[in-house]
Amino acid sequence: MERGVTDGGFSKTELSAAAERAALVLARDLGLGDGIRAGQDWAVDDGDMTLACVITGSADGQLFLAVNEGVGERLLADAAVLEAGFAASIAAASTGLAGSLTPGDGVVTSTETPGFVVEITDAGVITALVGLTLPIHVPQSPAVEFTPNSFDDMPAIGAASLGSLTVLDDVEMLVTAELGRTTMAVRDLLSLAPGMVVEIDRAAGAPIDLLVNGRRIAAGEVVVIDEEFGIRITDIAPIGDRRR
């Protein structure tokens, strides 16, 4: 099978090497220089001429040759030699590629910019540029299948998961016993003196709230232990009722 038909193009490495093979043949057959080297830019100036030959076969593209106008006019004056040079260079480019490339009819001038550039040099001086445009094969990333977890596969959250709370065993928290609360104006607060009585929102004998970090978690009654006050827990607040 031909690569250009089966997967849409060639690798960049293949095309770079193909452009160099084509440049070597053009330099030799058209007398343009004695060496080649990879080019970075298609540096064509106003005084230059770009000639192009269509490529057909297993893939469609173009082979370009940029020279100064004087050399371009000389090459166009002998169309048979120019076309033969392009045909030989396209055959050389095709050598290392799957499938086959063939030249189209005739050579024309062009203003397009090729995808791969090679410099032709003579005694180290750039005398011409050769460009090649052919489709590049872009490998497709394999599809990744994603299967979401079912809720049935998720671990149950219950008493068994409470073992992870042991990491908090040494964490210190502020525990407060609250007899009651009231609201006072600032002037009343500033007028407080020893012996005055402050009324709170709790009936005599009502349970005392036990708060952890300001959140009520339990209630109890005051007891005396070794001449010190304590609280005997009489009720644990449900999780939904643990208010601040």
- Looking at residues 211-216, what average pLDDT do you find? 84
Predicted local distance difference test score (pLDDT) of residue 90:
95
Predicted local distance difference test score (pLDDT) of residue 141:
66
Residue 143 domain-assigned? no
The Cα-based distances of 150 to 143, 144, 146, 159 in angstroms read 22, 19, 12, 22
Residue 139 domain-assigned? no
Pair (116, 184) in one structural domain? no
The Cα-based distances of 178 to 195, 206, 212, 241 in angstroms read 21, 11, 11, 16
Average pLDDT across the chain, whole number: 85
Pair (187, 81) in one structural domain? no
Residue 87 domain-assigned? yes
Pair (23, 108) in one structural domain? yes
Residue 102: phi and psi, rounded to 5, are: -130, 145
Predicted local distance difference test score (pLDDT) of residue 241:
65
What is the CATH classification number for the domain harbouring 68?
3.40.1550.10
Residue 155 has pLDDT above 80, yes or no: no
Read off the pLDDT of residues 80-102 as tens digits, 9 standing for 90 and up. 999 999 999 999 999 988 888 99
The model carries a pTM of 0.56
What is the domain range of residue 48?
3-133
Pair (91, 177) in one structural domain? no
Q: How would residue 146 be classed by pLDDT, with cut points 50, 70 and 90?
A: low
Residue 158 domain-assigned? no
Residue 156 domain-assigned? no
Tell the burial category of 120 from Cβ atoms under 10 Å away from its Cβ (0-12, 13-18, 19+): buried
- Looking at residues 170-197, what average pLDDT do you find? 86
Predicted local distance difference test score (pLDDT) of residue 48:
94
The total number of structural domains that make up the chain: 2
Pair (121, 13) in one structural domain? yes
Residue 1 has pLDDT above 50, yes or no: no
Read off the pLDDT of residues 5-60 as tens digits, 9 standing for 90 and up. 345 688 999 999 999 999 999 999 999 999 999 998 999 988 999 999 999 998 99
Residue 66 domain-assigned? yes
Read off the pLDDT of residues 46-71 as tens digits, 9 standing for 90 and up. 899 999 999 999 899 999 999 999 99
Residue 15 CA, distance from chain mean position: 27
What is the CATH classification number for the domain harbouring 206?
2.30.330.10
